[in-house]
Structure 1
Amino acid sequence: MQPAYIQIHDQIKKDIDEKIWEIGKRLPSERDLAEQFGVSRMTLRQAVTLLVEEGVLERRIGSGTFVASTRVQEKMRGTTSFTEIIKAQGKIPSSDLISYRKTIPSQEEVDKLGISREETIIRMERVRYADQIPVVYEVASIPEKFIKNFKKEEITSHFFQTLQVHGYKIGKSQQTIYARLAKEKIAHYLQIKPKQAILGLTQISYFEDGTAFEYVKSQYVGERFEFYLENK
């Protein structure tokens, strides 16, 4: 006979598959679920933790445990904006702007963007959402010379679209993915636990002529977003 926590795991998963528990719905408290299944809270927690690790459920700090939405997927070919990725999967994109300022670039930004130390950049920090669920924390650095005539809202809400409207032709991107642990600040923004494993991504985006126009450092919640490769 299977252990009790596996039986509970299977039953909750079955209920989700049969739409008894719908995507985004908050589960009852551990105490209530333990009483419902007639087990200890420790046994119940084992089942829930396993479901969280599988990406079936997700814990949100201060809010409870919810049925996870289907992960957002990004096919790693070409250059696509986060907004376009989210819309393409039938979700509603949004963002929370944390900071936005004109500043001198760091040496890293100089190297990645191919600019001089005398040039200024716009550096914006934001959290981006799919259906109001935080997916990624990012810091984007953009040479000011490309966007000095743009409105702030055009840059923070639909940057790639704004570039194209103004005649810029977007080309390739260079991406690097790595694993890391979420620091307390990032965990707070993404509604996860500190030191939880997350996906880091750095991306340099270029115009068709090879000029770099954006350098982004992002941190994704792995339970809510995944990358995949496609070769032709």
Structure 2
Amino acid sequence: MTAIYIRIHDEIKHQIETGVFEVGQRLPSERVMAEQFGVSRMTLRQAVTSLVEEGILTRYVGSGTYVASDRVREKMRGTTSFTEIIQNLGKTPSSKVLSYQKTKANEVECDKLQLKKGSQIIRMERIRYADELPICYEVASIPYRLIEDFAKNDIANHFYDTLAHAGKKIGRSEQIISAKIVKKEIANFLSIKPNSAILALTQVSYFANSDETPFEYVLSQYVGERFEFYLER
């Protein structure tokens, strides 16, 4: 005789396959679903957990359980804006700016951006979203002299488009990816559990000019279960 939780697992999976629950849709609460199936919450949770382990469902701390979406994928070739990546996948990009300040570049920023000591930068901290789902936390550092004539909104929400409209051609980028454990504050921003593994990306982007002037230094932390990088030769 098939275990009750397996029958519930199969029924939920069937509902997903037939469109009752769509990709990205939040499932009802455990209490509601347990009542619908006439089982205990423990039995319902066992069925849902098995679907999460199979990658069919995804749990987000403090948010709920959702039908798993395909991961956002970035090709590691050239320099492409986050907005463009998300739009190319048919998703809606958005950002939440946590801080935006003009300040002196630190030693690392001076080195990465080829700036003199004491140079001014804009340091911007923000969360990046795809269809309102948090994908990445990032801190971007940009030489102030390059963007002093632009409004904050032009930089915070349309940076690459703003550069293109100003006649700046984007060139190559240098990227380093590593795995790390997310800190509690950033985990809260990304709606994941503290101490979860994330993908850390360090990137320096350059203009396509004779001097290959660096225009952006970014430290990003991506939610691994929602984003992946791939190489193409």
- Is the TM value for this pair above 0.5? yes
Aligned to 2:214, which of 171, 196, 212? 212
How far the C-alpha of 1:57 sits from its partner, in A, is 2.0
Name the counterpart of 2:120: 120
Name the counterpart of 1:227: 229
How far the C-alpha of 1:73 sits from its partner, in A, is 1.2
CA distance in 1, matches of 2:157, 2:150: 12
**1:25 correspondence with 2:28:** no
Answer yes or no: is the 8 Å Cα contact 1:55–1:223 preserved in 2. no
Deviation track 1:71-104 (CA, whole Å, cap 9, x = no partner) reads: 2111111100001011111111111111000111
CA distance in 2, matches of 1:59, 1:30: 12
Counting matched residue pairs gives: 231
**Does the C-alpha gap of structure 1 residues 202 and 2 become closer, same or farther in structure 2, counting only changes over 3 Å?**
farther
CA distance in 1, matches of 2:36, 2:206: 55
Deviation track 1:143-166 (CA, whole Å, cap 9, x = no partner) reads: 111111111111011101111111
Name the counterpart of 2:64: 64
CA distance in 1, matches of 2:122, 2:152: 10
CA distance in 1, matches of 2:166, 2:117: 26
Q: What one-letter code is carried by the residue in structure 2 that aligns with 1:77?
A: R
**Does the C-alpha gap of structure 1 residues 180 and 6 become closer, same or farther in structure 2, counting only changes over 3 Å?**
farther
Name the counterpart of 2:78: 78
How far the C-alpha of 1:40 sits from its partner, in A, is 4.4
SS at match of 1:174: strand
TM score, norm. by length of structure 1: 0.90
Answer yes or no: is the 8 Å Cα contact 1:146–1:213 preserved in 2. yes
Farther-moved stretch of structure 1 (41-50 vs 17-26): 41-50
**Does the C-alpha gap of structure 1 residues 200 and 54 become closer, same or farther in structure 2, counting only changes over 3 Å?**
farther
SS at match of 2:86: helix
TM score, norm. by length of structure 2: 0.90
Name structure 2 gaps, 5 residues minimum. none
SS at match of 1:108: helix
**Does the C-alpha gap of structure 1 residues 230 and 9 become closer, same or farther in structure 2, counting only changes over 3 Å?**
farther
**Does the C-alpha gap of structure 1 residues 227 and 10 become closer, same or farther in structure 2, counting only changes over 3 Å?**
farther
CA distance in 2, matches of 1:21, 1:177: 35
**1:47 correspondence with 2:76:** no
CA distance in 1, matches of 2:181, 2:14: 31
Q: Percent sequence identity over matched residues?
A: 62
SS at match of 2:232: coil
Farther-moved stretch of structure 1 (111-120 vs 8-17): 8-17
Q: What one-letter code is carried by the residue in structure 1 that aligns with 2:193?
A: K
**1:170 correspondence with 2:164:** no
Q: Alignment RMSD, CA only?
A: 2.0
Answer yes or no: is the 8 Å Cα contact 1:101–1:124 preserved in 2. yes
Name the counterpart of 2:101: 101
Name structure 1 gaps, 5 residues minimum. none
